[in-house]
Amino acid sequence: MGLYDKFSRLANDRGQFQSSGLNPFGTCIDEIYSATEGRIGNQKIVLAGTNNYLGLTFDAQAIADGQAALAAQGTGTTGSRMANGSYSAHLMLEQELTAFFDRPTAIVFPTGYTANLGVISTLAGPGSVVLIDADSHASIYDACALGGAEIIRFRHNDAKDLERRMVRLGERAREAIIIVEGIYSMLGDVAPLVDIVDIKRRLGGYLLVDEAHSFGVMGANGRGLAEALGVEQDVDIVLGTFSKSLASIGGFAVGSKAMEVLRYSSRPYIFTASPSPSSIASVRSSLKMIAQHPELREKLWSNAHRLYQGLAKLGYELGPRISPVVPVMIGSKEDGLRFWRDLIAKGVYVNLVLPPAAPAGMTLLRCSVNAAHSEEQIDTIIQAFAALKK
């Protein structure tokens, strides 16, 4: 048997999508003009399938700071912080994150994926129990597998189901680790954090919240869902990424003083190169924008309302709540692919999401808005969906 033969079914499945027309998996966006516009082939497109929630990828200051760091500190660090040392900018960003979250410790990782891997796999080793939402991001599943803890999945956003499973654990619930996300990236819904915190207060356990899609997006200061719901005190560790609202690449964890020990015990922290100077510099710049420009969040939410309401009026089945992520449910994969290609032909780029990336066997067109979209661009997206109905 050949090395890749076991993938033949997957290859055939994906091959169907490549037979004619644009391939929705790993689409080449030929040019990027701004946070909201690009080109695919000959078609100019409105970008409505990103995680660039605050629209900061082309922020002039972030670009200037990134360029200055590139010139002053070079293209890369070429090593891990443990073996080769930290640059002062890594430490300054960590300090800025501790101030932003008002927590004693922040640790920066090369991506959000490695932040989850680094924190969860180290804390949830053999003998530990983790309770995770069934729709958790792959990085949470992979982190649990790497750590070797006992994994208990509870039904998506179902606090009652979590509670039943905690009760069944008896005394072990006191040490269990509960992991949920802020905004879920595919449906745009949010974890029932108030109910989960109530369960934690009664039954014990530790609570980790991955605010990847809600950081910069929710809360009066942009700290995420826990801030928006007033339960930050009950969250033990906040996990996040620099690749969405912060418009760069990297990840982070913030928590108590004791979390510092991860720097010496977390293999995904120790055995990988640290983020490059230009990424760190642009993240620091965008973090200031989040702190100083709450109007970006207001614009984002106003765009989210406009898109959600516009698509709902057309009769599309959408996600359960208004959110910067607006999923449009489509009946079949074939329809999904056809709609996705038609939208590009009409100048709108969204994400085609199939199972297992889409939950519960759904096919969806994942639209996302950002603070840089103009109302006209939101209307272009709505009109493109209206034309599909004809």
Task: Report the site for ligand PMP in 213-242 (rule: CB under 6 A).
Answer: 213, 241
Question: How many other β-carbons are positioned within 10 Å of the β-carbon of residue 201?
Answer: 10
Looking at the Cβ atoms of 181 and 189, the one nearer to ligand PMP is 181
Quick note: the x/- pattern for ligand PMP over 247-266, rule CB under 6 A, is ----x---------------
User: From the CB of 220, what's the least distance to ligand PMP, in Å?
Assistant: 22
Quick note: the x/- pattern for ligand PMP over 128-157, rule CB under 6 A, is ---------x-x------------------
Cis amide leading into 356 (omega within 30): yes
Looking at the Cβ atoms of 121 and 385, the one nearer to ligand PMP is 121
185 near ligand PMP, rule: CB under 6 A:
yes
Kindly state the number of chain residues that form the binding site for ligand PMP, as judged by CB under 6 A: 14
The tokens describing 2, both together, are: 């050949």
259: CB partners within 8 A, 6+ apart: 104, 105, 107, 237, 253
Evaluate whether 104 touches 257 at the Cβ level (below 8 Å).
yes
Looking at the Cβ atoms of 239 and 384, the one nearer to ligand PMP is 239
269 near ligand PMP, rule: CB under 6 A:
no
Q: Which of 57, 116, 274, 303 binds ligand PMP (CB under 6 A)?
A: 116
Q: Which of 113, 252, 269, 385 binds ligand PMP (CB under 6 A)?
A: 113
366 near ligand PMP, rule: CB under 6 A:
no
User: From the CB of 315, what's the least distance to ligand PMP, in Å?
Assistant: 29
- Pairing status of strand 251-255 against strand 325-330: unpaired
Looking at the Cβ atoms of 57 and 241, the one nearer to ligand PMP is 241
Q: Which residue is nearest to ligand PMP (CB)?
A: 112
147: CB partners within 8 A, 6+ apart: 120, 121, 122, 123, 124, 125, 126, 128, 130
Determine the 3-state secondary structure of 176 from DSSP: coil
Q: Which of 112, 192, 224, 324 binds ligand PMP (CB under 6 A)?
A: 112
Task: Report the site for ligand PMP in 192-211 (rule: CB under 6 A).
Answer: 210
Question: How many other β-carbons are positioned within 10 Å of the β-carbon of residue 163?
Answer: 18
Residue type, 3: L
Comparing CA positions, the residue from 124, 169, 165 lying closest to residue 142 is 124
User: From the CB of 324, what's the least distance to ligand PMP, in Å?
Assistant: 13
Report in angstroms the alpha-carbon separations of 152 from 107, 129, 133.
27, 7, 9
Kindly indicate which of the ranges 109-117, 221-229, 285-293, 303-311 contains the residues binding ligand PMP, using the contact rule CB under 6 A: 109-117
DSSP string, 97-141: HHHHHT-SEEEEESSHHHHHHHHHHHHS-TT-EEEEETT--HHHH
- C-alpha–C-alpha distance, residues 212 and 53, integer Å: 11
The residues binding ligand PMP (CB under 6 A) are 111-113, 116, 137, 139, 181, 185, 210, 212-213, 241, 243, 251
